[in-house]
Amino acid sequence: MIDMLHNPFFLMALLAGIAASLAGGVVGSYVVTKRIVFMSGSIAHAVLGGMGLALYLRRTLGLLWLKPIYGALLFAILAAIVMGIIHLYYKQREDTAIASLWTSGMALGVIFLSLTPGYNVEVLNFLFGNILWTSSQDISLLLGLDLCILVVLFFFHKKFLAICFDDQQAKIQGAPVHFLYFLLLSLIAITVVLLIQIVGAILVIAILSLPAAIANIFSQKFSRIMILAALLGICFTCIGITFSFAVNWPPGATISLVATLGYFLGLGVKKILNTRKG
């Protein structure tokens, strides 16, 4: 443990994990409440197209400043907007939009990567997580996006709650439901990109939804769910990073496994408590 605490890679990974898990727990509470977990999964896989495009332009045009994370952020927000348009204006079911964006984003990513010269190790890091390679610039980006999310939630939290629990009633009361829906999806998109830094695009659903799902097992009050989800996300990330560093496991997969085990443990504890009450 002493060796790990003196390792700069480990400390940077812990800081990145805490920054991303904070946003994941807060925004994940809305995701679980509104039951759009797989929509976030669609956004996570659609960003592969943005990563592939950014890497292609960087290699072919010499745009060294263009990192795959920037392409991921652009495609995540575009995917969220397209998904909202399909659902709100074309009255299509959300699972149809999820399927179309999931496959098209992955397809574009594969095409751009096949056209990109050289080795594409960077994209593999984003698919499976690259938290141990976090730089100070990545930390600044994570904290900036964290601040952006928290500021938006400070002003729109109650309105988000209204559309999560009963969007029709919110519409009757004059709330700008369409605007709020797009804004919430955009926040989810940003959070997905944050978490991709930690666990990768493939496993992002676990760390986004499971802490909030566990919190929901033990509390029905949304503010408590949000706080507990953020704390659980930070806890799972710290445990996962520490364990993976000690036994040389992939950190993203380890964090996701810890979160999954935490979910099953939460179900077991709740079952025991209900049995004792009965």
Give pTM, 2 decimals: 0.85
Query: Taking the CA atoms of the chain, what radius of gyration do you get in angstroms?
Result: 19
On whether residue 278 sits in a domain, the answer given is: no
On whether residue 122 sits in a domain, the answer given is: yes
CATH number for the domain spanning 241: value is 1.10.3470.10
Per the model's pLDDT, the better-predicted residue between 99 and 49 turns out to be: 49
On whether residue 277 sits in a domain, the answer given is: no
Whole-number pLDDT of residue 2:
64
Q: Which long-range contacts does 235-241 make (Cβ < 8 Å, 24+ apart)?
A: 236/21, 236/207, 236/210, 236/211, 236/262, 237/14, 237/17, 237/18, 237/20, 237/21, 237/198, 237/207, 238/14, 238/17, 238/18, 240/17, 241/10, 241/13, 241/14, 241/17, 241/131
On whether residue 205 sits in a domain, the answer given is: yes
Whole-number pLDDT of residue 215:
92
State the average pLDDT for the chain: 84
Answer whether 73's CB lies under 8 Å from 190's CB. Answer: yes
On whether residue 61 sits in a domain, the answer given is: yes
For residue 181, give its domain range.
Answer: 2-272
On whether residue 187 sits in a domain, the answer given is: yes
**pLDDT of 76 over the 80 cut:** yes
On whether residue 199 sits in a domain, the answer given is: yes
- What is the total count of domains within the chain? 1
Taking only the tens place, the pLDDT of each residue in 258-269 is 999 999 999 998
Taking only the tens place, the pLDDT of each residue in 166-183 is 878 888 888 888 899 899
